[in-house]
Chain A
Amino acid sequence: MADGVVHIVDDDPAVRDSLDLLLRLRGYRTRTYESGEALLASADALADGCIVLDLRMSGLSGLEVQQQLAARRLDLPIIMLTAHGDAGSARDALKGGAFEFLEKPADDALLLQAIESALDAGREKRSQRMRRAEIAERMERLTPREREVLSHVVAGHHNREIAVALDISPRTVEVYKAKLFDKLQVERLPDLIRLVLDVDLPRLRNDDKGNP
């Protein structure tokens, strides 16, 4: 059974209550919200888990809630539910980063599977986020000169080229590299490069999706 909370947002009390009941019986931790506004109001509690979000609600629509969550850099996976699966809103939801788009009444197995993978994805995101935070912390310890050397190393330049570019001796470059390995807690050059890519690439991928 997965850990992580399933946040259920639906303005229809019966739909909300029944889904809540079913998921709790299946062993999930749940929280329910009667509107998108209610969900956003308790955004602090949205540290982990996933969101099951109704597309058409009075007040904020599912799509608007999705946008506002993204604006607050809350990247919990969203399962969008709709009672009329028009292609237009499905496209908008998925383009806005929704994890899954399901039609109501959703097939039980399909919904559970979506929740399961959404929670997995949430966990994955969380660990990635933590690793990134840790690496960022290590990077903080680098001096400006060391960072300069690092950018050359990642760009694939040889010691000699770096020495010429920074107007220092190749020997000094070796010293800087040793310090880099030490501070970033890696032992080999490929590890160093993977570490830097881990920090930068996800950010790059997010930019592609139009997230801030």
Chain B
Amino acid sequence: MRDNRCMARASTFLSHHSNERGDRRSPPWLGLSYIAAYLVLDWISFIDPVGPFGITPWNPPPGLSLAFLLAYGPRQAGWVFLAALLAEFVVRGGPAPVPILIAMSGVIALGYAALGVVLRHRFAVDLRLITLRDAVLLLIASTCATGVIAASFVGVLVASGALPAARFLPGMTQFWLGDLIGVVVTTPFLLVLADREHRRSLRPDALTVAQGLAILVALWVVFGAGFQDPNAFFYVLFLPLIWIAMRHGVAGTALANLAIQLLLITILALVPVPSASLVDYQFLMLTLAATGLILGAAVSERRMIAQQLRDKQFELDRSLRLASASELASAMAHELQQPLSALGNYVRASAVMAGRSDVAPAEIAATMQKALAEADRAGQVVRRLRDFFRGGTVHAESIDAGELTAAAAEVVRERARRHAVQVVTELEPGLPRIYADRLQIEGVLQNLLMNAIDAMKMTAPPHCLSIGIHGAKNDMVLFTVEDNGPGVAPEIADRLFGHFETSKPHGMGLGLAIARSVIEAHGGRIWHEPRSPGSAFRFTLPATKRHG
């Protein structure tokens, strides 16, 4: 019974969590802005068309559409349809009867919506494109989808008689390549622009100018150096792209791809090329963009993993520090017992002296002075202990209570599994962020969770450990850690947060005392409530807005 409830609550939490990176909310002006951008892009890129139709060597509007659908979900397909249809009239003046234009626009809207759904929901592609897997999936899925869309689009034109059947294959090929290049160049660039981290990594530095120059030099070598066949030296363009990919990851590559693409189009518009070699350039452009994207994503992924390793190491160090709290307490006990021991002896000696007539008062005073020095020494030890657990200062920041709890729960997950403890988390939706020192609060949560698991080891299963996070009055957030273990013995319940109180045979009883000082240093409160069976520990922390 209890287990089932645990499971149900756990799965609710999980689904809540995975939805966090879900569709963005769409403001009302969004669709109109998209249409405007689509029309502008379509108008700019309507170069070298096949007949009067939107079949061009470089077609960025689908890239915009795909980024739009990926970011805001397939429900935006209506806007895509509208944009495609409007473009036919505004940019190309209605080149075919309205039903055919509707069919063409429908093919585009449906096709890219489907591609978006497949990428987001079938393959769960991370829109930041910071893994090799995500970049490769985007390339492969886009290649397939644009192929199907191209066949359908040109198929509609041929079926309606707007295009001769003989031109189906070359038309489709060009449409396919044009759309694919548009997607491969435009979509990653827009996705990169939408991510704050990526935008930050794109800030220009001293090397940016050099990298831009390298691209120009490479283009000059390909087109300006006077070689007979520019195609033969196209590979020179890979060099600056590789440099940028190695240095800036996928964000830099996306930007460089776009820049190279625009420059190429400009050059091709100025330098007359035979239309046969146009297809060659399309292939070269596609290869260049895809290679850059894959390399950039690989670099980004390696960096991300390196960063994660560093973070993990840092957190591990910190948790080791907490884990060694018991050894530390033992060492500190020794440090503290020495002065206390001497202090006691001096005071006892003074008492003995005071009862004697043959001892001069000055001698008693000297002994009391020594006792005082020992009291000071004990005080210093305590201050050192406190500084250690503070890590010097409280480094407070605005943090997400759910993430914090998930991180703490992750640390005890293995231990919970070993003792057959079901861990469930109940997170009240729409909670404000809390203002706290992440590592310290994580330590407190870990401590409470460990205590709960240790307590439940003593009773028969089922073991249910529940973590609750709820809003509380006065802009506070309330954390609850509840177990169904044996509970806290009444005789120690009211001294629970004092030093050296423990029900564990091997514990030093410092955990809850430290937890209390951490919580109170944050302006919160921690307390214990008996449950039948088990016990609940609750603490409050201030929500962020109170501080800022």
Contact = CB atoms under 8 A, between A and B. Distances in A.
Interface stretch (B49-57, B90-98, B266-274, B342-350): B342-350
B370 A83 contact: no
Interface string B324-350: 000000100111111111111110110
B349 A14 contact: no
Nearest to A103: B337
Contacts of B544: none
B352 A26 contact: yes
Nearest to A16: B342
A114 B352 CA distance: 19
Given A17-B370, A83-B334, A84-B330, A105 B341 contact: yes
B405 interface: no
Nearest to B342: A14
B337 A22 contact: no
B353 interface: yes
B334 A14 contact: no
Contacts of B335: 83
A121 B316 CA distance: 53
A105 B340 CA distance: 6
A83 B334 CA distance: 5
B174 interface: no
Given A14-B370, A18-B349, A22-B349, A83 B337 contact: yes
Interface in A189-211: none
Given A21-B367, A25-B352, A26-B352, A14 B339 contact: yes
B374 interface: yes
B345 A18 contact: yes
B345 A22 contact: yes
Nearest to A81: B341
A18 B370 contact: yes
Contacts of B353: 25
A18 B337 contact: no
B334 A56 contact: yes
Contacts of A108: 344, 348
Interface size class of B (residues with CB under 8 A): 20 to 34
Contact of A104 (B337, B348, B373): B337
A12 B334 CA distance: 11
Contacts of B352: 22, 25-26
Interface residues of A, number: 19
A12 B342 contact: yes
Contact of B345 (A15, A83, A84): A15
Interface in A1-52: 12, 14-15, 17-19, 21-22, 25-26
Contacts of B333: 83-84
Contacts of A26: 352
A83 B343 CA distance: 14
B500 to A, nearest CB: 12
A165 B443 CA distance: 81
Contacts of B334: 56, 83-84
Nearest to B333: A84
Contacts of A22: 345-346, 348-349, 352
Contacts of A25: 349, 352-353
A106 interface: yes
A105 B336 CA distance: 10
A25 B367 CA distance: 12
Nearest to B356: A25
11 contacts: A14-B339, A18-B342, A18-B345, A18-B346, A19-B345, A22-B349, A25-B352, A25-B353, A83-B341, A84-B337, A105-B337
